[in-house]
A and B are shown apart, each in its own frame.
Chain A
Amino acid sequence: MATTGTKSWAELKPAGASRIPEGLWLRCPGCASMIYRKQMETNQHVCPECAHHYRIGADERVRQLCDDGAFEPLFDDLRCVDPLKFKDLKTYKDRLAAEQKKTGRHEGVITGRAFIKGRQLVLGVLDLHFMMGTLSSVVGEKLTRAIELATAEDLPLVIVSGSGGARMQESGLSLMQMAKTSAALARFDDAKGLFISVLTDPTTGGVSASFAMLGDVIIAEPRALIGFAGPRVIQQTIRQELPPGFQTSEFLMESGMLDRVVDRRELRNEIARLIDYAGK
């Protein structure tokens, strides 16, 4: 066992871990020490003390992964349309407007052409800050176009996932994005393309059960939550305590479900190296 997979889910999931509190100093949810925010941020949002990986948005991810200025966004003209006029306690329309205002983005994914350490590729990054990175029609369409572009131009494909799953507000249409992206990946596979799937905290539901688990090489950041069903649902079903470290990256690697657990600060190197081995 390469890394410690022994923390319980509760320990890994302190309240508010997804949004870093404001202020110059913050208490690390991984090791509880007070760390200087700037230092954490310049360390790619990784705790300098314990290597706790803070959740980051898609823009920050693109900045970290790509060579300087070497990202060209594509398919940005797609817009959500609320096909079902969905309303729960709030309307989907209002939720979307709030998320768009919060993130300055129309939807929960960035797709485009990129260079990582000089290697050209097609990149997709789900944005956890936009409705938990959920898979909608637009997200599915942008990813499918990205996969088709990589197929057409014979480029490696990297998708960084971080998502709560399919977006309920688009119901069956979001469900169908799972089949759509998976079918596009079949064609990419037929063309012998290299797909590196990077899983970050959390990757669950309809995203894990489609493109995210279809990587030729699957990499996960340390101690990310990865699974099909959420831990609470499982606990309610089986009415037992979940084993320690259940559904963490390390647990998945031990179970044979992914290739490597990679520290965020090594991700660029690892992707470049894999492309040199398997890319075209």
Chain B
Amino acid sequence: MAIPYTMEFEQPLVEIESEIRALEGRSGSGEQDYAEEIAGLRKHHDRLLQKIYNGLTPVDTVRVARHPNRPQSSDYIRMIAKDFVELHGDRRYGEDPAIITGFGRIGSLKCMIVGHNKGKDTNEKIACHFGCAHPEGYRKALAKMKLAEKYNVPIVTLVDTPGAFPGVGAEQRGQAEAIAVNMREMSRIRVPIVSCVIGEGGSGGALGIAVADRVSMLQHAWYAVISPEGCAAILWKQANPQTNAEAAQALHITANDNLKLGIVDDIVEEPLGGAQRDPAAAAVFLKEWIVSNLSKLRRRKPETLLNKRYDRFRALGAYDEVTPAPAPDPRPES
């Protein structure tokens, strides 16, 4: 990974890493071999790394989820899909690079892959609006999912967005409608759908491609109704490191929180120290999750598939019922 990028909570690791590098530099230059010392330091390093990542606060998790070296949809597609055929355009207005769509083979399964795309270099990031899709992105996603349905090809969606793009054109072309229609249509697409939040799961912009039979999050991803900063700005009246941390905590954004709430079904493990440390290993875990779930879902009859998908979302929400709902009464006179 080209750009060194250290988060504060990883600072204790930096010193050990530079010690290791120094010893490695001196090794082999002469009579002294530091293999034992290096191995010791490595062990210490990994233990510390484990400890740090086990103790990540919610707001730290957000930073990991946004890490510039964290693999994106395009990386996962490259690592887990063979013969990827990208398909462009919504056939209505334009091509939105903030969502990538296309056919690909994952293991032995032919799939339609739909994923938010944040972009790698500055130009691509700007073109992708940093992963914030426009209505044409959501409409493209739906068009390709319908194509998959037509050919009985299962769908994999990878969620990684701070949120849908807030802009004049996006509003004019119906951002709200595009997201709403995606959710309605995804609930009745007659092929299996699995979704994984690989980085950021920002609100409706995330859910617009995440109505699925099975939903997971990578271990250090976040998923919530609003970003911690957005929430802090509104409910705490100001976004600063302190209020952002409080909001991140209050919003229950982590994979564990979302699993407990039933919003996701599984947590997909990341390599030690996060996917950004070892994208290839992260891709292996993700691929395993996709393949095992799609293989099971493919055995369901379409009717069963749709009923279970409906029931999955139907059951979400927390409330009390003070008395049983009354049986439908006779119609009121009028």
Contacts and interface: CB of A to CB of B under 8 A. Distances in A.
Interface of A: 67, 69-72, 74-75, 77-81, 83-84, 86-89, 113, 115, 118, 120, 137-138, 140-141, 144-145, 149, 153, 166-168, 170-180, 182-187, 189-190, 205-206, 208-214, 226-230, 233-234, 237-238, 240, 242-243, 246-247, 251, 255-257
A84 B252 contact: yes
A154 to B, nearest CB: 13
9 contacts: A137-B319, A183-B211, A183-B313, A190-B188, A206-B225, A209-B208, A213-B180, A226-B176, A227-B176
Contact of A175 (B167, B225, B314, B325): B225
A214 B181 contact: yes
B121 interface: no
A118 B234 CA distance: 44
Contact of B334 (A69, A74, A246, A247): A69
B107 interface: no
A214 B184 contact: yes
Contact of A179 (B170, B187, B318, B328): B187
B252 A172 contact: yes
Interface in B166-183: 166-168, 170-177, 179-181, 183
B168 A243 contact: yes
Contacts of B314: 144, 180, 183-184
Interface residues of B, number: 66
B316 interface: yes
A89 B321 contact: no
A142 to B, nearest CB: 9
Nearest to A205: B204
Given A113-B331, A140-B317, A172-B261, A178 B183 contact: yes
Most buried by A among B223, B310, B334: B334
Interface in B263-315: 263, 309-310, 313-314
B185 interface: yes
A175 B203 contact: yes
B236 interface: yes
A212 B176 contact: yes
B36 interface: no
Contact of A246 (B166, B168, B263): B168
B234 A209 contact: no
A89 B236 contact: yes
Given A210-B183, A251-B172, 8 more contacts: A168-B225, A168-B234, A172-B258, A175-B263, A180-B317, A183-B313, A183-B314, A186-B185
A172 B224 contact: yes
Nearest to B167: A238
B317 A182 contact: no
A173 B331 contact: no
B250 to A, nearest CB: 5
